[in-house]
Amino acid sequence: MIDSLALVLALLPLSPVDDAFQPRTVKVDDRERPYRVYAPADLKADEKIPIVLFLHGLGESGSDGLEPTRVGFGPELLKRAASARVVAVFPQVGGRGQFWVNENARYAMAALEAAEKEFHTDAKRVYLTGLSMGGYGVWTLASEHPEKFAAIAPVCGGVRAPWDRKPPEGDPYKTTAEKVKDLPIWIFHGNFDRRVPVTESQKLNEALKAAGATKTKYTEYEGVGHDSWLKAYAEDEFWKWLLAQSRG
């Protein structure tokens, strides 16, 4: 059965903003899944530019394909289209019971790889960012593929869900930090966040220091709640930092 909201959205005409994010599909685990991709309109076939994988939050889950482009990274990218020449990939998980793990993690990576091939992007400048649930996904995917990314930027994310009351096996913050410690990382969080505790980012930042990481930046916004992505992605310095990162 088609989700009623998705059906309504599908019948609405696309705005010029929505038009900037083109629909694509990728096959994962014998299933075709949609994603959206942004590329500069004047991109030349032989031009090597960076590529960004963006992981959305819980509120942008669904099947319309466009919600992930409307919150966080996408709107800010359009504002900076003239200066931030990147390809950007926007996968979407299908429902509120799903997260950026297992099949969804494989799907996100498959969408990234498909866009890399389509647009012949720079393999040394592959970036990963996401917010809230997507911030958790950033830590997950970076831990699984640290060799893939030139930089990561988790926004109001973490490694232990707020509702998880089971004692963890070992120290998940230390384990994550050990896997990603060599990456350039910029962590963002609001200290008034009531959805994802700021202690998640604080513990990861401390674990990275203890692991010997030397390329980590940490920004904690005073008095800001869960929507810290509004400030994070609007930071001029963030864009300069991100696009300056390159593997090797």
- Tell whether 16 is covered by a domain: no
Give the pLDDT band of residue 158 (cuts 50, 70, 90): very high
Which domain covers residue 182, as residue numbers? Answer: 24-244
- Tell whether 2 is covered by a domain: no
Compute the CA torsion angle 37, 43, 44, 46 (nearest 10 deg).
-60
pLDDT value, residue 175: 96
The alpha carbons of the chain give a radius of gyration, in whole angstroms, of: 17
- Tell whether 33 is covered by a domain: yes
What CATH number did the domain enclosing 219 receive? 3.40.50.1820
Residue 4 has pLDDT above 70, yes or no: no
Lowest mean pLDDT among 22-31, 35-44, 155-164, 215-224: 155-164
pLDDT value, residue 94: 87
pLDDT value, residue 2: 39
- Tell whether 14 is covered by a domain: no
Number of domains in the chain: 1
Instruction: Kindly report, residue by residue over 86-135, the tens digit of the pLDDT.
Output: 999 999 998 777 899 999 999 999 999 999 999 999 999 999 999 999 99
Between CA 196 and CA 46 the distance in angstroms is: 42
Whether residue 159 contacts residue 202, with contact meaning beta carbons closer than 8 Å, is answered with no
- Tell whether 17 is covered by a domain: no
- Tell whether 18 is covered by a domain: no
Neighbours of 146 (CB within 10 A): 15
Between CA 194 and CA 172 the distance in angstroms is: 21
- Tell whether 107 is covered by a domain: yes
Between CA 95 and CA 6 the distance in angstroms is: 12
- Tell whether 46 is covered by a domain: yes
Residue 213 has pLDDT above 50, yes or no: yes
Instruction: Kindly report, residue by residue over 107-118, the tens digit of the pLDDT.
Output: 999 999 999 999
